[in-house]
Chains A and B, each alone.
Chain A
Amino acid sequence: MVMAELDYGKVGLVAGLEIHQQLDTKHKLFCKCPTTLRAKKDSNFEFFRYLRASKSELGEVDKAAEAEERYRRTFIYKAYDSTCLVENDEEPPHELNREALEIALEVALLLDMDVVDEVHTMRKIVIDGSNTCGFQRTALIATNGKIETEEGVVRINTLCLEEEAAQKLLEERGYVVYSLDRLGIPLVEIGTAPDIKTPEQARKVAEHIGMILQSTGKVKRGLGTIRQDINVSIRDGARVEIKGVQNLGMIEQVIKNEVIRQLNLLEIRDELRRRDAYVEREIRDVSEIFKNTKSKVIKKAGHRVFGMCLRRFGGLVGRQIQPGRRFGSELSDIAKRFGVGGIFHTDELPAYGITEEEVKKLKTAFNASDEDCVVIVAADEERAVSSLNAVLERAEVAVHGIPEETRRALEGGNTAYMRPLPGAARMYPETDVPPIEITEEMLRRIKLPELFEDRKKRYMQEYGINEELAGKIARSINFKLFEEIMSMFSSKGTKVEIPATLVIRTLTDTMTELMREGIAIQNVEEPHIIKIFEMLAAGDFSKEGIPEILKNLAANPEKSVGEIVTELGLKTMRIEDVEKFIEAVVMERADFVRNRGLRAISPLMGVVMKELRGKVDGKLVSEMLENTIKKFLSERYNIE
């Protein structure tokens, strides 16, 4: 199996990305429902439907659509008091959401794209049940853009505005359950050209596009709100579309594993050709052999077993093609689509409770030698035959090469078969939605945001802070507040200087930590925070008091910052009082200080700060404590 370091140039890797980002609009794309996700237990209505592939004029059904219809499943939908008849496909769509359109235009301009003159909404046939109507509404907004990466320019071919699909909750034999809360949330789909040459570049491109999207401040954040599809092919391989990579960190691994998979499948192809391997197109009932079997899987299937023979495939079905996945796993994935648990093949048997004796009989039944591989499925006749037929087709393709297909990302960077690649010819106009002309005026009105990258660089320069801190506040929703505070209090005129790092830490890390502690930090409003820094700049308390003030503000938002500072006793102490207090502490622990010497500083610091936190700057306290101890030791014990 190919595993070693890969030379991507040599294998001819070509990759493209399709990035789907949900928009943070008030309403869904084609109705006035909110774009909020719901707890599934809040569903107040459920219904079910079937979908049929509609035929085109030429009698062609889209390959992907046909594959879905072959599974013949029931789709169960969960509705909420926050969804309406549009999601149920019981009412025509309303007009295209203008807020969503404006965000899409903004993103298009940021990606240096050409916006179309007039937007036409299309129906894209999808009959896996994820859209109640059997199509996804989608509109092309812009083309012909680009982004710059270190490895070169990557062209952005298309930007589409489309509806998010319903979320799959459960898939069982014969039915799928979907939740309608997500259906119809606007999203932009950004498709790059196949200009990407390495996995690392793919990740960087995804990060860059993600950064641009986040810079608008108008897209949803959090898990599942952005998804990457990756198109991968290598020389002599096939174009494979990998769906639903939710984690940026996985992009590199997914591409690497796909390259490995294709290289191994090419090796298998060559070997099959050398052997003159073929697939025997005959499916046999071999239940007789397993009537007394110990295999739990076969017993569960009512001892019904069907099989077929892959001539001269012996040893190759069990060959590993990705870490932990064999060629047999590919065949098994396809079989599973027909509602069976998977396949067994003689490359891996005896195992799973199937005995050597049974394997021997199986081979005899098919007149198979070790050169061959017998594949069996335990299920009722209808499902066994349809799944074995699919396995048979897939095995035949293996002799010729790698099938083009849509695959889904698995944990760990592998992928599994999902469906054939959809054809191009599966779109027609959504006549219920009128087209929208994009005027020059509309484009002029769009204000482009400052990109995170640019803002970060500006902060580094303006405030002399490091890249990490600058990046942190540049991406924060509090970046404007940061700038405001800095312009008000960082000037030399204030009693106490307010460093940028303190403001950033407060607005980012401190806030996050308090939120994690379960503090209702959302109660603290911007004027509160400004006031805190105003008092800090005036020397009214010291910076250590900030978390305590925020906590109390969150609990009592009706109080003023001043009141809370007073209540907490944070009013700055006079230096003489501080000195007296420290002296008292040292005196009380005279023996301890004598024994420990200067090593007493650190334990005593805790004692002192317990009282002084927020009233005096900690650094100052530390200095004073050290001096007091030194003075104490030299005066009392003559210790230097």
Chain B
Amino acid sequence: MQFSEGARIRVKKRTRKGVVVYEGTVMPTAFSKNIVIKLDNGYNIGIRPENAEIEVISGTEGRAERDTSRAERQMKKEARGKPTISILSTGGTIASKVDYRTGAVTAQFTTEDILEAIPELEELANIEGKVIYSILSENMRPEHWMQLAKVVYNEVKRGADGIIITHGTDTMGYTAAALSFMLRSPVPVVLVGSQRSADRPSSDSAMNAICAAKVATSDIAEVTIVMHGGTSDDFCYVHRGTRVRKMHTSARDAFRSINALPLAKVHYGSKAGVPRIEDLKIEILDENYRRRGEVEPELRAHIEKRCALVKFYPGADPEVIEFFLERYKGVVIEGTGLGHVSSEWIPKIKRAVERGVVVVMASQCLYGRVCDRVYDTGRDLLKAGVIEGGDMLPETALVKLMWALGATSDVEEVKKIMQTNVVGELSERTCVLCVES
């Protein structure tokens, strides 16, 4: 029997007590080897094809082709004096639609669709939506960071007053760090995502997006990540792009600033009731940020991809370094404690440095500063030519190393860059209040 997705069928099956008849619409069968139909009461069920008598009642209903041309319209300033925000989509979704007929959940990227789902955005700014990629964030590569940096740069040049980048949360921290190094922007560049899917009424996407828009229209002209600050819908944190890390697999408040305070808090709702957009408030937590208009737009998108992040663990085979020294230009080691590896790694590291590989030490503790002067192993590492990563996050150190090696092949110059604060990724004074409570 021939039928396809969307067809309406009637299935007769013999059962222990007679015959059962199901009637419904054929659904996609991604999760099942059986025939899946949606019954008229909305439920899906799976039917084993054996001994099933199937009758096609009607074929596939035609589906409207999606009109994607709308997303490519030209940017136009509106008269009412509202700022313009360009929303660039890379695959993370802030708006979804559910087709209850087919059960399909589709991510929404066009300006109209985003505004339909989150109409509040329009109260804050004129919104322009643009799809850059449609990929899962774990499939992001350094090439994507570069291209994205170029798109952002062009949008800023074209006159956007703020940029929002929707991004899958898994590698959002890496992208934020990369954009931080690659872009000097006079306007805010905000990355935002959602931890709970946008199709669910409880999704964090709308609140995150609204807070992101609030930041995109503020004077915080840095690359930031704006996400829930707690499990309640009360506030979002504005994290500096080089200081932020995803610290939870699934919770709304997964993103945390490490070794730095978040730049700001965006106050959203309270128990008293649903927030009004005009009541949204930004509370600055760290005054030391780049203001709107302070710099001219500048693009410094260059990357050396042959860099690695290696985690040391008890008994880890030093041959790992052997592999990298043949093929790589830079290695960030996530060492234990203050920044250590076992003594058997040291000769290998020494050899790598001698071959011109830049080796940077970060700590798997995440919190605190690397210091290799305290114990013998540390002193030996320094002697071998390892560079201390200070209080940088291991991931940020990796992205920075890629970026620095992309800028110059002068190893000494790279070492200098790695130990100098470029965009707030590194500080000389370790934050006292920035430890996870």
A residues engaging B (CB < 8 A)?
Answer: 47-59, 65, 72-74, 76, 85, 88-92, 112, 114, 116-120, 122-125, 127, 132-135, 138-140, 143-144, 158, 160, 174-175, 424-429, 431, 434-435, 437
Contact = CB atoms under 8 A, between A and B. Distances in A.
A435 B20 contact: no
B20 A114 contact: yes
5 contacts: A57-B101, A132-B202, A133-B202, A435-B32, A435-B36
Interface in B231-262: 231-234, 249-252
B201 A428 contact: no
Contacts of A427: 42-43, 100, 103
B47 A116 contact: yes
B382 interface: no
Nearest to B116: A55
A611 to B, nearest CB: 64
Contacts of A435: 31-32, 36, 46
A127 B201 contact: yes
A631 B44 CA distance: 85
A120 B251 contact: no
Interface of B: 13, 15, 17, 20, 22, 27, 31-32, 34, 36, 39-48, 96-106, 116-117, 195-196, 198-203, 206-207, 230-234, 249-252, 269-274
A114 B15 contact: yes
Contact of B230 (A47, A59, A132, A437): A47
Contact of A54 (B20, B36, B101, B201): B201
A434 B31 contact: yes
Contact of B100 (A91, A116, A425): A425
A469 to B, nearest CB: 35
Contact of B47 (A65, A118, A160, A431): A118
A158 B170 CA distance: 41
Contacts of B22: 143
Nearest to A174: B273
Closest 6 interchain pairs by CB?
Answer: A118-B46, A134-B201, A57-B99, A427-B42, A140-B43, A114-B20
B251 A49 contact: no
Given A76-B271, A88-B231, A56 B31 contact: no
Contact of B271 (A65, A119, A175): A175
B255 to A, nearest CB: 14
A49 B232 contact: yes
Most buried by A among B202, B272, B274: B202
Contact of A437 (B34, B198, B269, B272): B34
B316 to A, nearest CB: 31
Contacts of A429: 27, 44, 103
A119 B45 contact: yes
Contacts of A76: 271
A117 B31 CA distance: 14
B42 A124 contact: yes
Nearest to B102: A57
B47 to A, nearest CB: 5
A73 B271 CA distance: 9
A57 B274 contact: no
A74 B273 CA distance: 5
Given A90-B251, A92-B250, A57 B200 contact: no
A396 B166 CA distance: 45
B273 A47 contact: no
Nearest to B45: A116
A437 B48 CA distance: 9
Contact of B31 (A48, A175, A431): A431
A120 B46 CA distance: 7
Contacts of A50: 207, 233, 269, 274
Contacts of B96: 54
A375 B195 CA distance: 47
B103 A428 contact: yes
Contacts of A175: 271-273
Which has the most chain A C-beta neighbours within 10 Å: B44, B203, B230? Answer: B44
Nearest to A144: B20
B101 A425 contact: yes
B62 to A, nearest CB: 14
Nearest to B44: A120
A48 B233 contact: yes
A153 to B, nearest CB: 14
B116 A73 contact: no
Nearest to A90: B251
Contacts of B274: 50, 72-74
B43 A122 contact: yes
Contact of B17 (A114, A118, A125): A114
A49 B233 contact: yes
Contact of B272 (A47, A120, A174, A424): A174
Contact of A112 (B17, B99, B202, B233): B17
B271 A48 contact: yes
B105 A116 contact: no
Contact of B117 (A55, A143, A174): A55
B169 to A, nearest CB: 13
Given A57-B106, A88-B231, A48 B269 contact: yes
B251 A118 contact: no
Contacts of A437: 32, 34, 46, 48
Contacts of A134: 200-202
- Between B22, B231, B249, B251, the greatest number of chain A beta carbons within 10 A of the residue's beta carbon is seen for B231
Contact of A48 (B36, B44, B100, B232): B232
Given A85-B251, A132-B202, A424-B41, 16 more contacts: A48-B234, A90-B195, A92-B250, A117-B34, A119-B45, A120-B32, A122-B44, A133-B196, A133-B200, A135-B200, A140-B44, A158-B41, A175-B273, A424-B42, A428-B100, A435-B46
Contacts of A90: 195-196, 231, 250-252
Nearest to A109: B16
A61 to B, nearest CB: 10
A47 B232 contact: yes
A612 to B, nearest CB: 61
Nearest to A425: B100
Contacts of B233: 48-50
A579 B411 CA distance: 115
